[in-house]
Amino acid sequence: MKKSRDFNDILDECLERLVKGGTIEECLASYPDLAAELEPLLQTAVAVRQASVIQPHPDFRAKARYQFHSALQAMESKKSRSFFGWQRRWVTAVTVVFVLLLAGGGTVAAASNSMPDNPLYPVKLATEQVQLILTPSDIGKARLCLRLADRRVAEIVYIANKNKPEQVENVIQRLDNHLVMIASLISGQRKDGSILMVPSEQAGVDNDVHIQANGRVNLRIMIASYAINHPAALRAALEKSPDSVKPALRRAIAISVAGYEKALMALD
């Protein structure tokens, strides 16, 4: 318990140093034993901070810091779970939320429609990761991943028209990650639609099975729709795109077709 609290204090100190103009390298040099855990969190903080042009009022920063500490304290109270591993997961989410709060709500809203060539795009990706982590059920996560896959396809089409092959490849990798996660999340559930858990009451069991079964039906409809629409959109982009991005678009089509086939098979 003490080790995790020490980590929280160190993380908070490093975030404060970043806010005041410090660097990731300085923070990692101060705590080399925790460098592997601190670095990805601090990189996220820097990416969001660099994307933001808003300087929040000090009162807003103070409120955000209070919310950050409150969330950490709430995490420490969840003793029924495997504490250390569970907390690390939530520290990542809360860290990003904290940095987004410092960046300002307007920045997050503006980032929601940003494209890969926009400075606010890292904010968009960070917000998506927070949403994914905070979504409790596997069905909910899979549904969110489908919406994110839909975003990635739109981004691929957009950036392909801009003739930026490297950025197209980066977005294709994110699309592939979403599709792999969808199939994995679906496979982690029972065929009857229930979550892999043991509810305390039979009524709860019946209710969970019913809700999850309906969720799988809706998920199948979404997957079947995207399995048609996404490859079609990518093929249409392929016909109009510059030659330099055509190989990447062909790979995106193949990934999309294969990914949705695996997701549908996992639902059978």
Taking residues 106-112, what's their average pLDDT?
68
DSSP structure class, residue 104 = -
At 58, is the pLDDT very low, low, confident or very high (cuts 50, 70, 90)? low
Structure tokens at 192: 């009857």
Span 2-28, average pLDDT: 77
Write out pLDDT tens, residues 73-88: 554 454 444 434 444 5
pLDDT of residue 92: 54
Question: Measured at the alpha carbon of residue 105, what is the angle toward residues 104 and 111, in degrees to the nearest 5?
Answer: 100
CA distance 172 to 123: 19
SS3 for 100? helix
**Which of the four pLDDT bands, split at 50, 70 and 90, describes residue 103?**
low
Three-state DSSP class for 268? coil
CA pair distance 207, 162, nearest whole angstrom: 49
Please state the φ and ψ torsions of residue 201, each to the nearest 5 degrees: -130, 150
Amino acid at site 244: S
> In which band, very low, low, confident or very high, does the pLDDT at 195 lie, cut at 50, 70 and 90?
very low
pLDDT value at residue 122: 78
pLDDT the model gives residue 47: 64
Most confident range (mean pLDDT) of 13-17, 114-118, 195-199, 211-215 is 114-118
Backbone angles phi, psi at 192, to 5 degrees: -80, 0
Asked whether the beta carbons of 166 and 158 are under 8 A apart, the reply is no
The structural domains of the chain, with segments of one domain joined by +, span: 1-134, 136-268
pLDDT in the model for residue 159: 96
Q: What is the pLDDT of residue 106?
A: 61
The percentage of residues in the chain with a pLDDT greater than 70, rounded to a whole number, is 63
CA–CA dist 186, 125 (Å, integer): 23
